[in-house]
């Protein structure tokens, strides 16, 4: 893994801050804070119904982002109407939680449910989360710990 502060250190060596350095402990704390912010608060910023709709849309076959977006729009889900980039943020987040997997084919990135994703979807149906999806986020967060 490369040092994320390498360019900063190089530029600092050339000016008045040349004696400033970061301890490994401080670097680790900063990285942990960044990871914590991305992993927990980001998931909770999306509607539960949206997450469940994405999982449902991938239940039978893999799809690329635009197909998922179109299906969501057809289901009256307008969360990404004027901010399509947020859909990809959510897809990447679900991928980092190992709920989705992705592969590139014909210059398109296709998303599919993993075994873990299928289990979440099955649990959602079994426990009635489809009607109370607010619990789905807790299920996803709990499993990612």
What distance in Å separates the CA atoms of residue 123 and residue 86, rounded to the nearest whole number? Answer: 26
Question: Does 119 score more than 50 pLDDT?
Answer: yes
pLDDT digits (tens, 9 = 90+) for 52-110: 889 999 999 999 999 998 888 888 777 777 777 888 888 988 998 889 999 999 889 99
Q: Taking 80 as the threshold, does the pLDDT of residue 113 lie above it?
A: yes
For residue 16, is pLDDT > 60? Answer: no
Query: Which pLDDT band, with edges at 50, 70 and 90, does 115 fall under?
Result: very high
Which of 5-9, 17-21, 96-100, 120-124 is most confident? Answer: 96-100
Q: Which domains does the chain have, with CATH numbers?
A: 46-143 (1.10.10.10)
Dump pLDDT digits (tens) for 32-56: 777 766 554 456 667 777 888 899 9
Does pTM top 0.85 for this prediction? no
Cβ-in-10-Å burial (0-12, 13-18, 19+) of 12 comes to: middle
pLDDT recorded at residue 133: 46
Please report the pLDDT score of residue 145 as a whole number: 46
Q: What is residue 83's predicted lDDT score, i.e. its pLDDT? A: 78
Nearest to 94 by CA among 129, 71, 68, 132: 68
């Amino acid at each position: 893994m490369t040092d994320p502060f390498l360019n900063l250190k190089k530029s600092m060596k050339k000016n008045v801050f040349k004696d400033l350095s970061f301890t490994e402990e401080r670097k680790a704390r900063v990285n942990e804070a960044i990871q914590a912010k991305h992993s927990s608060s980001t998931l909770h910023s999306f509607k539960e119904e949206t997450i469940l709709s994405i999982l449902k849309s991938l239940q039978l076959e893999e799809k690329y982002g635009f197909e998922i977006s179109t299906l969501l729009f057809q289901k009256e889900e307008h969360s990404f109407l004027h901010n399509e980039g947020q859909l990809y943020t959510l897809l990447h987040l679900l991928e980092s939680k190992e709920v989705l997997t992705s592969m590139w084919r014909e210059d398109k990135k296709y998303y599919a449910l993993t075994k873990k994703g299928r289990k979440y979807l099955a649990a959602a149906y079994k426990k009635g989360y489809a009607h109370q999806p607010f619990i789905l986020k807790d299920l996803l967060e709990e499993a990612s710990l």
